[in-house]
Amino acid sequence: MALACAGAFFLADNYEYKNVKVIIIKRRRWGIVTINLIPFVYTAIFAVLLFILVPRNDIRRLLIYGIIYGGVFDVVLLSITNFIGEFRYINYEPFGLMGIHFLAPISWSIFFVMYFYFLPEKPKYVYVYVIAAIFYSMLFCQMITKMGVLQLAHGIWDSIIPFILWFPLATWGYYRLTKGAKLR
C-alpha cells in the first residue's frame, strides 16, 4: 500500500478541462478520476483492507478507539487548521462542508482501527511503529496534496507537524483507555 501511495505521488498530473479539475493517473487502466471522488477511492481501499486484515470481533472492539482517535481528532485538527489557514481540503464540492471532506473522518477512523490492531506490545517496537505510521501518513498527505485534494500553506511542514503530535497522543491515549502495556 505504501508503495502504491508513493508511486501514485509521482504518477499523477492535475489538469483543468472546461472548468473541471481532473486528475489523470498515467497508468492506462485507471483512466480519468475527478478530484472530488479520490477520497471515496482511498476510503474504499482502507475499508477493504480493514475487513481483510482485522477480524470482525476486533473491529467491533477497536471501532470506538478508531472513531475517537481517528475521526474526532481529524475533525478537531481540520477545524483548527482551517481557522488558522494552515491546510484544508479543496475540490470536495458536494461531499464536504467548511473545508472538511465527509469521508476524511471515516477514513481516519478505519485507519486507526487497523493501527491499533497491529500496535505492538513491546515498548521499544511501539516507538518504531509510531514513527513508521507518522512517515506513512506524511507520504499519504503529500500524495493527496499532489492530487489536488488538500491544500497546504507551508508545504511539507504542514504534513509533518500534525502527525508528530497526533500519533504519539493517540497511542498514549489508547494505552491509557485500555490499560495496556505501559510505555517507559
pLDDT at 23: 53
Paired with 21 in beta bridges are 16
* pTM: predicted TM-score of the whole model, two decimal places: 0.76
pLDDT at 107: 93
C-alpha grid cell, residue 12: 499523477
Cα angle value 144/3/126 (rounded, 5°):
90
27 near 11, Cβ under 8 Å?
A: yes
pLDDT at 109: 95
pLDDT at 110: 95
Paired with 20 in beta bridges are 17
pLDDT at 64: 94
pLDDT at 8: 46
Q: Per-residue confidence of the chain (184 residues) as pLDDT tens digits? A: 444 444 444 444 555 555 555 554 444 334 566 777 778 888 899 999 999 999 999 999 999 999 999 999 988 988 888 888 778 777 777 777 777 788 888 999 999 999 999 999 888 899 999 999 999 999 888 888 887 777 778 777 777 888 999 999 999 999 888 875 444 4
Sequence ranges of the domains in the chain: 36-178
Closest alpha carbon to 78 in 49, 54, 104: 104
